[in-house]
Structure 1
C-alpha cells in the first residue's frame, strides 16, 4: 500500500512541477515584455515628447527675442535660449540612452538636426542683436522654421517607430500568454483526470476493503457472527483481516467463559441482594450462611465482618448519642443564660454610650458658642480700637481748628487796624476838603462815605471776634468731651480684653472636656461593639448548641431504627427540658441603666 500511494503522489507531484515550470517560464517572458515596454517604449515616448516641447519652447523664445521691448527682456531671452539649447541636447541624449538599439541611425540624425537648430537660433539672435531686424525675420521664417520642422518631423518619425516596436512586443506577449494559457489548461485537465483515476484506484484497492472490514469489526463488537473477508491478501489489508479473525476467535472463547462466570455471579448477587435488603430495613443481625463459589469466599467473609463491625458501631453510636444529647442540652441551657446576661450588658453599654454622646454634643455646642463669643469680643475690641482712633483724630482736628481760630483772630485784628487807619485817613480827607471849599465838596462826600465804611468794618470785625471767641470756647468744650469719650473707650477696651481672656479660657476648657468626653465615648463605643459581638457570638453558640441537641436526638432516633441484638442493654434516653431564649427587643436597649445592670446580675454572671 505505501508503494501504491507513493507512486500515485509522485505522478501528481510531477504534473504540478510541470504546471509550475510552465507558469514560471511564461511569467518571466511576459515580465521581460512588460519591462521592455515600460523602460524603452513608454520612457522613450516620454523623452521624445520632451524633445518636441523643447523645440516649441525655442521657437517661442526666438519670436519673443525678435519682439523684445527692453534690454533686460532681451538679456533674459538670451539666457533662456542658452538654457533651452542645453535642455534640447540633454533630452536628445536622454532618449539615446533609453531608446531602442535598432533606432541608432535615426537617433544620430535627430542629434544632428538638434545641433543645426541651435546654430540657426544663434544666428537669428546675432542678427537681431546687431539691429538687422528684416534679416532676422527672414531667417526666422526660412531657415529657423525649416530647422524646427525637420526636428519635429524626425522626432515624430522616432515616435512612430517606437509605437510599431511596442505593438510588435505586445503581439509577442499576447502570443506567449495564449500559449501559456493553452498549456496550463491542458496540463490542468490532464492533472484532474489523473487525480480521478488515482482516486478510483485507491478507492477500489484500499477504501472499499477497509470499509468492509470496518463493518465486520462493528458486527463482531456488537456480538454478532460473521466471516472475516480478505484474509487471503498479502498486503496490509490482509494482515488486518487476519488480526480481526483472531479477535473473533478470542471473543467466542471469552463468551463461553463469561457464561460460566455469570451462573456463579447470579448465586452471589442473589445472596448479597437479600442481605443488603435486610440491612436497609435496619436488621444488622443477618449474616451470609449460603455457600459461595471458591472465588467469592473472601467476599462472603468480608461481608459478614463488615456487618458485625457495623452492628458494633451502630450500638456504640446509639449509646454515645444519648450521652451527647444530655451534655448538649446542658450546654444549650448555659449558653442561653450567658446570652441573656450578655444582651443585658450590651443594652447597658449602649445606653451609656448614648448618654456620653449627648454630653459630648452639648460640650461641643458650648465650646462652639464660647468660640463665637471670643470672636464677637475680638470684633468689639476692634470696634473700640477704631473708636479710640477716631476720637484721637477728632481731638487732633479740634486742635487744628483752635489754631486756625487763633490765626483768624490775628486776621480780624489786622482788619480792625486797617479800618481805624481808613477812618483816620477819611477824617484827614474831610479836613482837606473843608479847606478846599466848594471845590472839595465832592471829595468831602467821598471822605464821609469812606469814614462810614471804616466804622462799619470795625463793627463787623468786633462781631467776628465775638463769634470767634464763642467758637473757641465751644471747641475747647468739644475737645474735653472727646477726651472723656476716649477715656471711656479705653476703659471699655480694658474690660473687653479681660472678658476676651476669660472666654478664651472657657473655650479652651470646653475643648479639653469635649476631647476627653470624645475619647470616653469612643472607648465605650468600642466596648459596646465588642459586647454586641460577644452577644451575637453567644447567641450563635446557643443556636449551635440547640442545633447540636436536635442533631444528636435525630442521630439517636436513627440509630434506634437498627436492630443489633443489644436493645435491652441500651440506656433509655433521659429527657432534658430546653429553655426558651427571649429575643432582645429594641425597646430593651432603651431601658434605664439602673434597671439593667444590678449587682445581683453581675454576681450571677
Structure 2
C-alpha cells in the first residue's frame, strides 16, 4: 500500500489535521484502555475455534497483543506516514498468508472499537458535565468520530492489502496456471502427434521438445514406452515369423505323423491277433500240462502203492525164511531121534543075539526099527537138504524183492521229482497264460489308444493348418509396424527339427545280436514311440 493510496483515503474520510489532533488528544486514554479492549478481543478469539486455530498457544497470543499495542500507539499518534504504511502492508500480507479472512479482522475491530467508544464516552460523561473544562457533546462526538475514522482507515488499509495480496496471489496463480496450461498444451500437442504416428504404425515417434521439469517424467515415460513397444514389436515380428515357419513344419510333421499313426494302428491290430492266437495255444499247453501233472500224480500214487506191496512181500519172505530155519531145527531134532533110535535098535539086536532063539522075535523088531530109523534119517536128511535149498532160494528171493523195493523207492522219488517239475510247468503255463491274457488286454487297449491318437493327430493336423493361417495373419499385422530398425531376430533352434532328429535317431535300425529281423510293422511301432516323445 503506497503513501498516495493512504493520503487519498485520509482525504476522502476527511481525516484532517483537526481530526488527527483529536486522536492525539485521546492517545493517553487509548493507550490506557486499549489493553483491556484487546484482552476482551483475545478472549473472544480463544472462545472461537475458527480464530483460536491461528494461534499456537497463549505465548503466541501475547506476542500478537504486544504488536497490536505498538500499532495502536502509531495510530493514536496520528502518524499515517511511510512507517505506518509499512506496518499496515505487513499486517495485510500476514493475514493473506495465514488465511485470516476479513470477517474476523473486521469483527475484532468492532469489539475493540465498541470498548474504546464506551470508554471515551464514559470518561467524558459521568464525572464532569459535558460543558465543563471545554468538554462538550460536540467535542466528544468529534473525538469518537476521529477514533472511528482512524479505526476504519486502518481496517480498510489492512483489508485492502489483504485483498491486493489475494489478487496478487490469484494473478500469480493464474499466470502459473496459464504457463502450466501452455506447457501442457505443448506437451499434449506433441503427445497427440506421437500417438497419431503410433496409431498409424510408426513406432519411431519420439518427444524431442523441451518440457518443464514437471513433465519430464511424462516425456521420458512416453519415449521409453514407445521404445519398449518398438522392441516388443520387433521381438513379436521375429517370433511371428518363427511361429509361421514352425507352424508350416508342424503341419507337415502332423500329416506325416497321421500316416504313421495309421500304420501303427494296423500293426498293433495284427499284433493283437497274433497274441490272441498265442494266448489260445498257451492255454491249451497249460491244460495239457495240468492233465500231465494229474497223470504223474496218479503214477506216483501207484508207485507208492507198489512200494508198499513190495515191503509187505519182503516181510512175508522174511517170515518164510524164519519158518524154514525153524523147520530145519525140527528136522535136526528128528535126525537126532533117528540116530538115537538106530543106536537103540542096534543095541536091541545085540541083546537079541545074545538071547538066542528067545530073542529072535525081538531081533526082527529091532531090525525093523533100525530100518525105520535109517529111513527116517535118510528122509530127514533129504528134507534138510530140500529146506536148505529152499532157504537159499528164499534168501535169494528176499534179496531180489529188496532190490525191487529199492528200485521202486527210487522210481517213487523220480516220479515225485517229475510230478514237481510237471507241476511247476503247469503253474508256469498258467502264469504265462494269465500274463499273455493281460498282455493281450494291454495290446487291445494300446490299439484303442493308438486309434484315439490317430484321431487326435488328425485334429492336430487341422489345428496346425489353422495355426499356420493365424500365424500368417499375425505376421502380416506385425509387419505393418515401422520400428526404424531391421528386424534381425536370432535364429532359434526349431523344436520340430529337434523332434524329427530324435525320431530318426530312435527309429534308425541297429544291429542287435540273437534277434530276428524286425518286421516292417516293428519299424512303424518304433516311429510311433518316437512320435510319443515328440
Which band: TM-score by shorter chain? 0.3 to 0.5
TM-score w.r.t. length of structure 2:
0.34
Computing the radius of gyration from Cα coordinates, the structure with the larger value is 2
Q: TM-score of the superposition, structure 1-length normalised?
A: 0.31
